[in-house]
Amino acid sequence: MSKKTFTSPDVPAPDILRCAYMELVVTDLAKSREFYVDILGLVVTEEDEDAIYLRSFEEFIHHNLVLRRGDEAAVAAFSYRVRSPEDVDRAEAYYQALGCETRRGDFTKGIRNALRVVDPLGFPYEFFYEVDHVERLAWAYELQGAGALVRLDHFNQVYPDVPFGADYLADLGFRKTEQIADENDVTYAAWFARKSTVHDTALTGGSGPAMHHVAFATHEKHNILYICDKLGALRQSDKIERGPGRHGVSNAFYLYLRDPDGHRVEIYTQDYYTGDPDNPTVTWDVHDNQRRDWWGNPVVPSWYTDASRVLDLDGNLQPLQERTEAKEIDVTIGADGFSYTRKGDAVAGFKLGEQV
Amino acid sequence: MSKKTFTSPDVPAPDILRCAYMELVVTDLAKSREFYVDILGLVVTEEDEDAIYLRSFEEFIHHNLVLRRGDEAAVAAFSYRVRSPEDVDRAEAYYQALGCETRRGDFTKGIRNALRVVDPLGFPYEFFYEVDHVERLAWAYELQGAGALVRLDHFNQVYPDVPFGADYLADLGFRKTEQIADENDVTYAAWFARKSTVHDTALTGGSGPAMHHVAFATHEKHNILYICDKLGALRQSDKIERGPGRHGVSNAFYLYLRDPDGHRVEIYTQDYYTGDPDNPTVTWDVHDNQRRDWWGNPVVPSWYTDASRVLDLDGNLQPLQERTEAKEIDVTIGADGFSYTRKGDAVAGFKLGEQV
Amino acid sequence: MSKKTFTSPDVPAPDILRCAYMELVVTDLAKSREFYVDILGLVVTEEDEDAIYLRSFEEFIHHNLVLRRGDEAAVAAFSYRVRSPEDVDRAEAYYQALGCETRRGDFTKGIRNALRVVDPLGFPYEFFYEVDHVERLAWAYELQGAGALVRLDHFNQVYPDVPFGADYLADLGFRKTEQIADENDVTYAAWFARKSTVHDTALTGGSGPAMHHVAFATHEKHNILYICDKLGALRQSDKIERGPGRHGVSNAFYLYLRDPDGHRVEIYTQDYYTGDPDNPTVTWDVHDNQRRDWWGNPVVPSWYTDASRVLDLDGNLQPLQERTEAKEIDVTIGADGFSYTRKGDAVAGFKLGEQV
Amino acid sequence: MSKKTFTSPDVPAPDILRCAYMELVVTDLAKSREFYVDILGLVVTEEDEDAIYLRSFEEFIHHNLVLRRGDEAAVAAFSYRVRSPEDVDRAEAYYQALGCETRRGDFTKGIRNALRVVDPLGFPYEFFYEVDHVERLAWAYELQGAGALVRLDHFNQVYPDVPFGADYLADLGFRKTEQIADENDVTYAAWFARKSTVHDTALTGGSGPAMHHVAFATHEKHNILYICDKLGALRQSDKIERGPGRHGVSNAFYLYLRDPDGHRVEIYTQDYYTGDPDNPTVTWDVHDNQRRDWWGNPVVPSWYTDASRVLDLDGNLQPLQERTEAKEIDVTIGADGFSYTRKGDAVAGFKLGEQV
């Protein structure tokens, strides 16, 4: 059980609109460009020798992803847009009241007067309002390939103490939409939303702070299947880590890829509306074999174990804290773990027994 | 040009979450049930001899549509959910300050302590917070047919003076996302959102107050095509009024049906995120032949001319006011109107010339 | 009623495999290339100043379409592949026995020792076996756009006397799969297959010999919708003549485009297997409003009235013969015609009355 | 290397049209009915206490699948339709010349005067022409669920000596369309077609004669995804053995299920046209990790090891012969095997290393 408790700073939290972009440090900008632009088809808003600013087809702000050249692959920022310039000030006051390190400034092209902080969990968070508008290419079908990415959907963060992190995110105004737990009140993962989808970010229990994945949305499931087909045609099918499949959590259709640095990217479509304040939180049993894949297909171990390191405001790697509670991989797979398709059904499915 | 101006009541508007349900008066409950339940597959939450309460598959509140038996087909309520019980009170004060007739009470099963008003445009609007939660059937694929309706998406209202209506809706907190206008500043239609889609409601210029359509969303385009295929198989293809097609406005894929009383129902999927306060408003030229159908397919005249009457709080038909400004049907079709595929291109497309 | 009867030549017909390619004469090769290559995405096998050889993604023979530069838009050949070199000889003997003009030779790049004839209906038919194999790009997803054309599906020919043409095609070994007729035994159109789809060619009653359309297949319906979306984005939606929709006849999903010369191209997907010799022939009532479009959407008049001229073996336009029997457009639309959604239902659908 | 050679009987082979139906022996008819009818949605043509006759939505012959109650799960017949009654006689003469046991008669409802044989590989094959026609439900969309099975696509047979089996099937008139082999001329599997798809049957190297799977086709990929979603909703996701995925071989989209007796059923869509006599045969390297799944997702071991037993004409289990050549599972997975994503690339993909 989590012992640490989050103390609300007693100053108002900023009004967060949505996850807006992630800044990734990549070790070979040309290789990353090939992955994100040539293969995945993200739109280049702007680029120079050090960085590429990318957006999805339905975006009207400057970027949803920054690839910045660096020596070590990592995540430099999880960035959220807030409702007004004043909300950036509110964010500054909020994190200062929490005793977090904060900085104001223009950290990327296209965005001005942003706030960057190392949050209470150790993640580099950004909040901004001022941003250049660019052309929304929603109608530009002549530019959209068969696997067009139309929106940034969410982040996913790895952190050891999910309940502590959940309290912090709740204080910051996020609604918890779903979670994975067990009968002993251990929480393995939880999902948090500001916009009216299942999440803007999620916490996955594990050694952290670390970045589990960043997710882009397509319109339909066949768009995701096409991305797989294209990777096969390019003989890069080993970029596919897990899926495609249907999530239990979120009910979305998914695919997990690994970029040239190993950063995990999810392609995602069709979760549900969560915008009401009393939106019911869904709790999944960690032993339910359909929680992570509704079709019961196995989760590859790397999906549980690998994550990207995150940076502090000076660009140094944040140290990792180990998870002390039970780990999802241990309680569900292998000699000491178990999963069921039907609760109470003694028979393990043949897939589980044979695959791991 | 619109002369009438909307005066803000100087009390705060309620915080509206989303369009939540429409109450339709239907003349033959059995026939309407066949249409909405047997054909379209909406989920019956509850029903009795006088009314059927229906919801979409991803809904967790009691209903998204009420079919109530009556002598004359009409619309009894456009109902919105607000963020809190206090917002219902705020709505009451807001409309009373506007001099509108208001009533508090339980107007349908499953919803308590709602406010109904006749709004400044003459529409029967409802606002509520308290509602029974029911099972969200998002994961119940065994119940979902090939054309599953997963969400209520929006209303569309017919009203003569679009700019006046737009001022009122803006005061009520709606963001204007798109509009159709001409070079003389005549506005033919406009779209308004509270949730982060293109609209929760829209105003279509014409004789009103009247109801143009109510729209439900599917996940994918093939779900909409299936509904057409099924109507063909049932020899009810004459229930299809317009489409399927791709809208210019909203960029969504659409289909318009007419229910047994002639109420228009849209099936709709895949518009874009509009939740940022500075979301760009898109203005379409009324002469752009791709504004209503991105593929340039003709709009059937009935789509412009037909609408459902709306009721006051006593169940009497609201009188209609004629539109005095130019009408979209007149300026775009036929001898006195024109449309273009490419602005400045003298040649009218063969489709236009030959079809109408 | 048709009086003319087809007399079988008493020599064996060739064993035809499938429709293989059409040779189109186009007046502006660059414009046609833009349409077929840049917009529709057909694969260029080979091209020079006078001709472009195109194929679909799953094809392994040299081409499915030849665009040849000429002064007047027309069709130079409807070409079929036969089972063996001997079948080309059989075709030659067959047509010579019928008294038709025949020529042997290499009429296009990539194909050798073909036979061209002017058939008993006046159409320029070709039969060949010897052909260059090229790479089948079925797995080349990195080259395939969202609207990828994967196969040539069929031809459609306009001819005044459908029963006479049907007798000829039956003698040539085609199975009649579907037809449109009325209660007076007038046949308005019929469909004919060698491969196991609904057709390799069809006869549409009208002034002929003329070419109604050539059809390419996609894998899924969304591929066809994307082509419409792309044409909209390119402001070329006026290239869409009819559809997209679901056919009654063939049960396929369809779209009709017009190329820069007005040649009609269908994009088509998902008809059914017809390869058994006793495959049931489906007969549609000409007054059934779902025969041409299962959703009852109107057929634009140009679709009935326009067709491409065909050439003789010297490249001269074949003269047109008028249809003398009742015409489908006349018996179904307008003051003298009628269509029904439900046979015996007196009420014409609102769509028909309002649209034409 | 295979030593056994197939000797052609010097009487003509029958003209086979297509795989037509499989007769499965099932141990619990009610459970099997639930799987094939309630879950997969096959159409019941006829049923009694001992057998259920099922067909797909586009079929016009009496059945594509017979479920017959028995004590031991097995396959009683792989049945092909031939072009004419005379072809049944030809089949009889052909197999008698081969020294095979043959029987003529009415083995199932709806089919008359069929031939059953134990073929040279030990499989119970049937050939028939005379069959009851039933309604083709292609247009009956009101009956078709979201995962509608529209055609029987193919059989897949397990047999130790693939080259010997291939020679026999070639003699019987099948075209070999694809195969999996290695640099030592070991053939691991091969695909054979009569109709113009990639196969009517296939040979998978292994202990046989046995039945690997029977495959039904859907129109689109989302139909297959829906079947997975529905199995999840019914808490029967453990019926999913492998997939969904994209095959390398055949380029089709696939899913493998196991019925209540463990019989394997594939759901399959979108392979390519193979009807030309010189259709190129595709050879895949057994070490190519994209041959079985184009996305490089792992094949579960049960898919290689499990198969259904087949019966002789008296209903007794045919004895199994072991495969003596190298096995695909051994040469591709685990300590002694290897697979590559890019030939010559030393690095094994992380998926392989981590999953098995």
Find out whether the peptide bond into C244 is cis, omega within 30 degrees of 0: yes
Residues in chain A: 356
Search chain C and give the residue with CA nearest D269: C219
**Local confidence band at B353 (pLDDT 50, 70, 90 cut-offs):** very low
In a domain, C311, yes or no: no
Choose among D133, D150, D276: nearest Cβ to C81.
Answer: D276
Suggest the residue from C295, C302, C329, C340 to mutate for an interface test with chain B (most B CBs closer than 10 A).
C295
Rounded to a whole number, what is the distance in Å from the CA of B216 to chain A's nearest CA? 13
Task: State the Cα–Cα distance between residues A42 and A19, nearest whole angstrom.
Answer: 17
In a domain, D237, yes or no: yes
Average pLDDT over residues B321-344: 92
Average pLDDT over residues B195-203: 98
DSSP track, B59-84: --BS-SEEEEE-SS-EEEEEEEEESS
In a domain, D324, yes or no: no
* Cα torsion through C190, C195, C198, C203, rounded to 10: -20
Average pLDDT over residues A22-38: 98
**Share above pLDDT 70 across residues of chain D, in percent, rounded to a whole number:** 96
The residues pairing with A77 across neighbouring beta strands, listed in sequence order, are A23
Do residue A300 and residue D351 have CB atoms under 8 angstroms apart? yes
Q: By CB neighbour count within 10 A (0-12 exposed, 13-18 middle, 19+ buried), where does D217 fall?
A: buried
Do residue B146 and residue D142 have CB atoms under 8 angstroms apart? no
Residues of D in contact with B233 (CB under 8 A): 139-143
| B242 within 8 A of C228, measured Cβ to Cβ | no
Structural domain total, chain A: 1
Search chain B and give the residue with CA nearest A294: B139
Question: Which C residues, 237 through 276, put their C-beta within 8 Å of a C-beta on chain B?
Answer: 237-238, 240-241, 244, 246, 248, 253, 258
Average pLDDT over residues B10-14: 96
In a domain, B249, yes or no: yes
Choose among C238, C301, C351: nearest Cβ to B300.
Answer: C351
Task: State the Cα–Cα distance between residues A291 and A339, nearest whole angstrom.
Answer: 10
Rounded to a whole number, what is the distance in Å from the CA of A294 to chain B's nearest CA? 9
Task: State the Cα–Cα distance between residues A214 and A201, nearest whole angstrom.
Answer: 9
Choose among D141, D220, D233: nearest Cβ to B229.
Answer: D141
Residue A84 has pLDDT above 90, yes or no: yes
pLDDT at residue B350, as a whole number = 45
Residue D3 has pLDDT above 90, yes or no: no
In a domain, A187, yes or no: yes
Helix (H) or strand (E) holding C32: helix C29-33
| A337 within 8 A of A284, measured Cβ to Cβ | no
Nearest Cα neighbor of D219 from C237, B137, C191, C217 is C217
Residue A2 has pLDDT above 70, yes or no: no
Which chains reach chain B with 3 or more Cβ–Cβ distances below 8 angstroms?
A, C, D
**Cβ-count burial B18-37 (b if 16+ within 10 Å, e if not):** bbbbbbbbbeebeebbbbbb
Suggest the residue from B80, B224, B276 to mutate for an interface test with chain A (most A CBs closer than 10 A).
B276
How many secondary structure helices (H) and strands (E) does chain C include? 7, 20
| B238 within 8 A of C296, measured Cβ to Cβ | yes
Residues of A in contact with C222 (CB under 8 A): 220, 222
The secondary structure of residue B222, as a DSSP letter, is H
Choose among D222, D228, D350: nearest Cβ to A302.
Answer: D350
Search chain A and give the residue with CA nearest B247: A139
Give yes or no for D309 touching C (CB within 8 A). Answer: no
Residue A246 has pLDDT above 70, yes or no: yes
Domain with residue C113: its CATH number is: 3.10.180.10
Residues of B in contact with C341 (CB under 8 A): 235-238
In this structure, what token pair is assigned to residue A63?
A: 């970027």
| A79 within 8 A of A186, measured Cβ to Cβ | no
Helix (H, G, I), strand (E, B) or coil at B202: strand
In a domain, D348, yes or no: no
In this structure, what token pair is assigned to residue C15?
A: 């064993």
Residues of B in contact with C294 (CB under 8 A): 228-229, 232, 237
* Cα torsion through C187, C191, C193, C199, rounded to 10: 180
Look-up of token digits 């009851």: D132
The residues pairing with A16 across neighbouring beta strands, listed in sequence order, are A82
Residues D14-66 have pLDDT tens digits of 999 999 999 999 999 999 999 999 999 999 999 999 999 999 999 999 999 99
The angle, 0 to 180 degrees and rounded to 10, between the axes of the packed helices D221-233 and A221-233 is 120
Q: In this structure, which amino acid lies at residue B31?
A: K
Question: Which B residues, 194 through 233, put their C-beta within 8 Å of a C-beta on chain D?
Answer: 220, 222, 226, 229-230, 232-233
**Local confidence band at D348 (pLDDT 50, 70, 90 cut-offs):** low
The residues pairing with B265 across neighbouring beta strands, listed in sequence order, are B214, B257
Other CB atoms within 10 Å distance of the CB of residue A246: 26
Helix (H) or strand (E) holding A279: none
Residues D159-210 have pLDDT tens digits of 999 999 999 999 999 999 999 999 999 999 999 999 999 999 999 999 999 9
Question: What range defines the domain where residue B297 resides?
Answer: 16-133+146-304
| Positive/negative CA dihedral, C80, C83, C84, C87 | negative
Look-up of token digits 């000889």: C89
Residues B53-111 have pLDDT tens digits of 999 999 999 999 999 999 999 999 999 999 999 999 999 999 999 999 999 999 999 99
Residues of D in contact with B146 (CB under 8 A): 141, 144-146, 148, 226
Residue of higher predicted confidence among D355 and C206:
C206
| D352 within 8 A of D334, measured Cβ to Cβ | no
Suggest the residue from C272, C284, C295 to mutate for an interface test with chain D (most D CBs closer than 10 A).
C272
What residues have CB less than 8 Å from A128, skipping those under 6 apart? A20, A79, A80, A81, A82, A88, A111, A112, A113, A114, A115
Other CB atoms within 10 Å distance of the CB of residue A164: 18
The secondary structure of residue A189, as a DSSP letter, is E
Task: State the Cα–Cα distance between residues D312 and C164, nearest whole angstrom.
Answer: 52
The residues pairing with A25 across neighbouring beta strands, listed in sequence order, are A68, A74
In this structure, what token pair is assigned to residue A206?
A: 């594990």
Task: State the Cα–Cα distance between residues B227 and A270, nearest whole angstrom.
Answer: 19
Q: In this structure, which amino acid lies at residue A285?
A: D
In a domain, A39, yes or no: yes
Task: State the Cα–Cα distance between residues B233 and B253, nearest whole angstrom.
Answer: 22
pLDDT at residue B346, as a whole number = 60
Mean pLDDT by 10 residues, chain C (356 residues): 82 98 98 98 98 98 98 98 98 98 98 98 98 98 98 98 98 98 97 98 98 98 98 98 98 98 98 98 97 97 97 98 97 88 71 42
Average pLDDT over residues D80-93: 98
Do residue D272 and residue C150 have CB atoms under 8 angstroms apart? yes
Residues in chain B: 356
Rounded to a whole number, what is the distance in Å from the CA of A325 to chain D's nearest CA? 24
In a domain, D309, yes or no: no
Search chain B and give the residue with CA nearest A61: B279
For chain D, the three-class secondary structure string (H helix, E strand, C coil) is CCCCCCCCCCCCCCCEEEEEEEEEEECCHHHHHHHHHHHCCCEEEEECCCEEEEECCCCCECCCEEEEECCCCEEEEEEEEECCHHHHHHHHHHHHHCCCCEEEECCCCCEECEEEEECCCCCEEEEECEECECCCHHHCHHHCCCCCCCEEEEEEEEECCHHHHHHHHHHCCCEEEEEEECCCCCEEEEEEECCCCCCCEEEEECCECEEEEEEEECCCHHHHHHHHHHHHHCCCHHHEEEEEEECCHHHCEEEEEECCCCCEEEEEECCCCCCCCCCCCEEEECCECCCCCCCCCCCCHHHHHCCEEEECCCCCECCCECCCCCCHHHHHCCCCCCCECCCCCCCCCHHHHHHC
Residue B170 has pLDDT above 50, yes or no: yes
In this structure, what token pair is assigned to residue D93?
A: 């003469």
In this structure, what token pair is assigned to residue C128?
A: 């060949």
Q: In this structure, which amino acid lies at residue A134?
A: V
Rounded to a whole number, what is the distance in Å from the CA of B228 to chain D's nearest CA? 9
| D158 within 8 A of D209, measured Cβ to Cβ | yes
Strands B240-246 and B253-258: antiparallel
Residues B253-303 have pLDDT tens digits of 999 999 999 999 999 999 999 999 999 999 999 999 999 999 999 999 999
Residues of A in contact with B270 (CB under 8 A): 219-220
Search chain C and give the residue with CA nearest A138: C233
